[in-house]
C-alpha cells in the first residue's frame, strides 16, 4: 500500500503550485493513472512520490509519503548515466535465466541480456523494454511507471495492458495511450491547472476512464444548468425588486408633507424592500460557480495547405534497410499520393525510425513540396539550451513571430515557459512547439515519428482531429492504436521482407 498525506508541490521557477495538500491511498489491486495536460506536473508528482530528491532542484515538496513495501520506479526517459552502460552491465547481478517467461513476454532474447551493445544505442522501444524488464526482475511491491508505453510495439503494448490489469500489485502510472488506460485503469487521478495556471486542482475518481469522462461531462453539465438557473431566477427576482423599490421611492418623493401617516407607512415599506434587497445579495453569494475545466488546445493547420490527390509525393524503393552492419529489412517499396495519411508500425528494433530518417533526407531536398520533420528524439531539431522564443526567432519573420507568441499563449504556455529553457518543458510542450513550427512553415508534407507519444489522453483526440483534417500528406511511425485506426488512410507493417499493408491494430 502507498499513502500520500497532504502532499504539496510548488515550482520554484515560475511561482506555481502543482498540488496542494493532496492525500491519496493506493491499495492492493488499484491501477491508478495520472492524467492531465502537458506540463501540469504528472511526472514531477510521480518522482516526488518515489524520491523527492529527484525534483528538489526545481520544486519545493512538503507532506508525507508512506510506502508499505518496496517501490520501483520507471522513468520517462532512460537516465543519462545509463546510456553508456552495455546491456550486459545493466543486467549484471540479475537472475536472467530464472526470468525467461518475463523475457519472452517482453520479446527479449535471454542471450541479449549479455550483449556488449550500449543501452544508449537501442531503439526507443528497446530502451523501455530493458528498463521494464530489469525493474520487474526485482519483484517490487509497488510500481510507479512514467510512460511505460512509450515506443513499445503493439505486441508488447498488449502484454503490458494485461499485466497492469491483472496484477494485484498497486500501480501508479502515467500513460498517453488511451487504449491502455481504458483497458487497465480503475482509478483516475486528474491533475489540472486552471485560470491561466494560477490554481491547481486534483480530482480522484475510482472508476474506469470512459466512465470517468462521461461522469465528468455529466457533472459539469449539471453544475452549469444549476448555476444558470440560479442566475436566471435571481435576475427575475431582482427586476421585480427594482420595480417595487422604484415605485415606493417615487411615492415617497410625491408624498405631501400634510400626510405624515402615509409617510410613516411608506418608510416602513421601504425598510422591508431594502431588507429584501440585502437578502437577494446574500443569496447571490451562495450561487454555485460555473464549471471550470482545462481544455486541450493545439494550433490548427492552415486549411489552405493542400496537395492534389493525383500528385505523387513519394515513390520509394530500397533494396536493403540497414543500421550499421546489420540489415533490418529488404525490398522496401512505398508509394504515397497527395492528401494521403500513411502509418507505419512494426516490432521494436525493426528499423522504423531509420526508415523515416531516410525518407526525410529524400523529401527535404524536394522543391515541389515543403516537408517538415518531427523525430522521435526532439533534441535532433530543438536546441534544448534555447528558449521557445529564441528557437522561433532564429527561423521566422517578425510577423510570424508575433503570431507564434499568440499561438503559444493559446496553447497555455506561460510567460515563464516561453522564456525559460526548452529543456525544462515537458515532452508534450516540446511536441506542441514542433507542431507550431510545422504550422508556421506551412508545410504540406509531414514526417512524424510517434506524433502522439507525448500528448495526454485528453489532448490526443485534439491532435488526431488536427492531423485527420490536414490537407497535405502525412508519413508517420506510430504504435498508437487510436491514431492508426482513426487518422491513417493506410497502415503498413515493417517486416524483414519489406513493408506490408495491414488492417489497423485494435
Domain match, 234 and 145 both: no
Domain match, 319 and 436 both: yes
In 10 A of CB 44, how many CB atoms?
A: 21
Q: Which residue has the higher pLDDT, 237 or 191?
A: 191
For the chain, the domain total comes to 3
CB 40 within 8 A of CB 191: yes
- Beta-strand (E) ranges in 196-325? 199-205, 312-323
Domain match, 276 and 407 both: no
- The domain spanning residue 398 has which CATH number? 3.40.50.300
Residues 6 or more apart in contact with residue 357 via CB below 8 angstroms: 375
Cα–Cα dist 302/287, whole Å: 42
Q: Cell numbers at residue 164, please?
A: 497492469
Percent helix, strand and coil across the chain, each rounded to 5?
40, 25, 35
pLDDT over 60 (residue 368): yes
Q: Is the pTM of this model over 0.75?
A: no
Domain match, 17 and 113 both: yes
CB 434 within 8 A of CB 381: yes
pLDDT in the model for residue 252: 75
Domain match, 22 and 92 both: yes
User: What is the DSSP track for 141-173?
Assistant: SEEEEESTTTT--HHHHHHHHHHHHH--S-EEE
pLDDT in the model for residue 37: 84
Mean pLDDT (the chain) is 86
Domain match, 321 and 400 both: yes
297 located within any domain: no
Q: Cell numbers at residue 138, please?
A: 526485482
CB 16 within 8 A of CB 142: no
Domain match, 210 and 233 both: no
In this prediction, residues 332-358 reach a mean pLDDT of: 92
Residues 6 or more apart in contact with residue 234 via CB below 8 angstroms: 280, 283, 284, 287
Q: Which residue has the higher pLDDT, 295 or 366?
A: 366
How would residue 287 be classed by pLDDT, with cut points 50, 70 and 90?
low
Cα–Cα dist 216/409, whole Å: 26
pLDDT in the model for residue 271: 81
Domain residues for the domain of 75 are: 2-216
Q: Which residue has the higher pLDDT, 267 or 110?
A: 110
Domain match, 200 and 229 both: no
Domain boundary among 216, 243, 268: 216
134 located within any domain: yes
Domain match, 68 and 156 both: yes
pLDDT in the model for residue 414: 82
What angle in degrees, to the nearest 10, is found between the helix axes of 124-137 and 154-166?
Answer: 30
pLDDT over 70 (residue 451): yes
Q: For the segment 37-94, what is each residue's pLDDT rounded down to a tens digit?
A: 888 889 999 999 999 999 999 999 999 999 999 999 999 888 888 899 999 998 888 8
Domain match, 173 and 44 both: yes
299 located within any domain: no
Domain boundary among 167, 191, 216: 216
pLDDT in the model for residue 48: 95
291 located within any domain: no
In this prediction, residues 432-460 reach a mean pLDDT of: 88
pLDDT over 90 (residue 104): no
CA angle 60, 62, 63 (to 5 degrees): 160
Amino acid at each position: 500500500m502507498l499513502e500520500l498525506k497532504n502532499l504539496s508541490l510548488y515550482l520554484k521557477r515560475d511561482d506555481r503550485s502543482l498540488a496542494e495538500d493532496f492525500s491519496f491511498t493506493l491499495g492492493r489491486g488499484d491501477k491508478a493513472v495520472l492524467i492531465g495536460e502537458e506540463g501540469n506536473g504528472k511526472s514531477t508528482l510521480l518522482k516526488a512520490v518515489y524520491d523527492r530528491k529527484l525534483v528538489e532542484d526545481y520544486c519545493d515538496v512538503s507532506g508525507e509519503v508512506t510506502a508499505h513495501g518496496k517501490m520501483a520506479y520507471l522513468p520517462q526517459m532512460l537516465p543519462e548515466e545509463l546510456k553508456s552502460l552495455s546491456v550486459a552491465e545493466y543486467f549484471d547481478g540479475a537472475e536472467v535465466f530464472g526470468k525467461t517467461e518475463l523475457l519472452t513476454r517482453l520479446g527479449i532474447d535471454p542471450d541479449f541480456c549479455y550483449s556488449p551493445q550500449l543501452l544508449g544505442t537501442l531503439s526507443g522501444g528497446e530502451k523501455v523494454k530493458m528498463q521494464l524488464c530489469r525493474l520487474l526482475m526485482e519483484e517490487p511491491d509497488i510500481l510507479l511507471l512514467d510512460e511505460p508505453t512509450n515506443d513499445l510495439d503493439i505486441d508488447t503494448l498488449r502484454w503490458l495492458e494485461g499485466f497492469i490489469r491483472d496484477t494485484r500489485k498497486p500501480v501508479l502510472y502515467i500513460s498517453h495511450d488511451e487504449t491502455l488506460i481504458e483497458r487497465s485503469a480503475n482509478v483516475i487521478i486528474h491533475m489540472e491547472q486552471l485560470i491561466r495556471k494560477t490554481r491547481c486542482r486534483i480530482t480522484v475518481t475510482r472508476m474506469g476512464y470512459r466512465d470517468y469522462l462521461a461522469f465528468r461531462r455529466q457533472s459539469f453539465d449539471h453544475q452549469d444548468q444549476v448555476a444558470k438557473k440560479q442566475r436566471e431566477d435571481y435576475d427575475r427576482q431582482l427586476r421585480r425588486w427594482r420595480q417595487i423599490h422604484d415605485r415606493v421611492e417615487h411615492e415617497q418623493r410625491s408624498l405631501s408633507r400634510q400626510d405624515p401617516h402615509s409617510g410613516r407607512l411608506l418608510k416602513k415599506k421601504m425598510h422591508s424592500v431594502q431588507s429584501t434587497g440585502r437578502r437577494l445579495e446574500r443569496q447571490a453569494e451562495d450561487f454555485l460557480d460555473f464549471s471550470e475545466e482545462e481544455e486541450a488546445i493545439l494550433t490548427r493547420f492552415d486549411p489552405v495547405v493542400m496537395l492534389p490527390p493525383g500528385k505523387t509525393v513519394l515513390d520509394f524503393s530500397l533494396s536493403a534497410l540497414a543500421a550499421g552492419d546489420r540489415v533490418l529489412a529488404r525490398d522496401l517499396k512505398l508509394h504515397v499520393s497527395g492528401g494521403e495519411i500513411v502509418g507505419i508500425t512494426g516490432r521494436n528494433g525493426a528499423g522504423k525510425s531509420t526508415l523515416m530518417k531516410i525518407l526525410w533526407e529524400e523529401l527535404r531536398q524536394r522543391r515541389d513540396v515543403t516537408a517538415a520533420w518531427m523525430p522521435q528524439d526532439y533534441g535532433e531539431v530543438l536546441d534544448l539550451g534555447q528558449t521557445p522564443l529564441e528557437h522561433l526567432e532564429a527561423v521566422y519573420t517578425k510577423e510570424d513571430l508575433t503570431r507564434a507568441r499568440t499561438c503559444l499563449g493559446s496553447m497555455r504556455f506561460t510567460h515563464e515557459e516561453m522564456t525559460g529553457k526548452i529543456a525544462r518543458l515537458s515532452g508534450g510542450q516540446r511536441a506542441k512547439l514542433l507542431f507550431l513550427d510545422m504550422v508556421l512553415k506551412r508545410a504540406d508534407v509531414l514526417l512524424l515519428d510517434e506524433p502522439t507519444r507525448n500528448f495526454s489522453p485528453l489532448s490526443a483526440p485534439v491532435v488526431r482531429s488536427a492531423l485527420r483534417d490536414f490537407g497535405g500528406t502525412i508519413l508517420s511511425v506510430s504504435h498508437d492504436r487510436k491514431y492508426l485506426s482513426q487518422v491513417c488512410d493506410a497502415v503498413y507493417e515493417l517486416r524483414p521482407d519489406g513493408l506490408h499493408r495491414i488492417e489497423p491494430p485494435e
